[in-house]
Amino acid sequence: MPAVESLAIVVDQEECIGCSACVDEAPETFELDDETKACVKTPPGDELEFILSAAAACPTEAITVTDIEENQILYPEA
Ligand code: SF4
């Protein structure tokens, strides 16, 4: 399991519908901005399993999680 520090967590705000499912799963990593779009906190404060749960919970597949040390996309799964 990669360390959270080695993750790139990206929200495609064009796809985000502001449902806050990601915030419910990983509230120390995701928050909604003034335009009700999800953004990523710096640094992310949740463990990897919750960050991946948040990505999986997104109804529009707006969240991508990459292990930048291994150059491996963790979500969406291949
Ligand atoms: S779960 Fe997806 S659509 Fe919902 S707020 Fe988070 S990024 Fe946006």
Alpha-carbon gap, residue 69 to 75, rounded angstroms: 15
Give yes or no for residue 65 CB within 6 A of ligand 1: no
Contact predicate 61/16, CB 8 Å: no
Q: 39 phi and psi, to 5 degrees?
A: -140, 165
Ligand 1 atom showing the smallest separation from residue 57 Cα = 1
pLDDT at 2: 85
Q: Which two tokens stand for residue 37?
A: 């779009």
Q: Which of 63, 66, 25 is nearest to 45 (CA)?
A: 25
Residue range 10-66, pLDDT digits in tens: 999 999 999 999 999 999 999 999 999 999 999 999 999 999 999 999 999 999 999
Distance 29 CA to ligand 1 centre (A): 12
Reduced to 3 states (helix: H, G, I; strand: E, B; else coil), residue 21 is helix
* Domains detected in the chain: 4-75 (3.30.70.20)
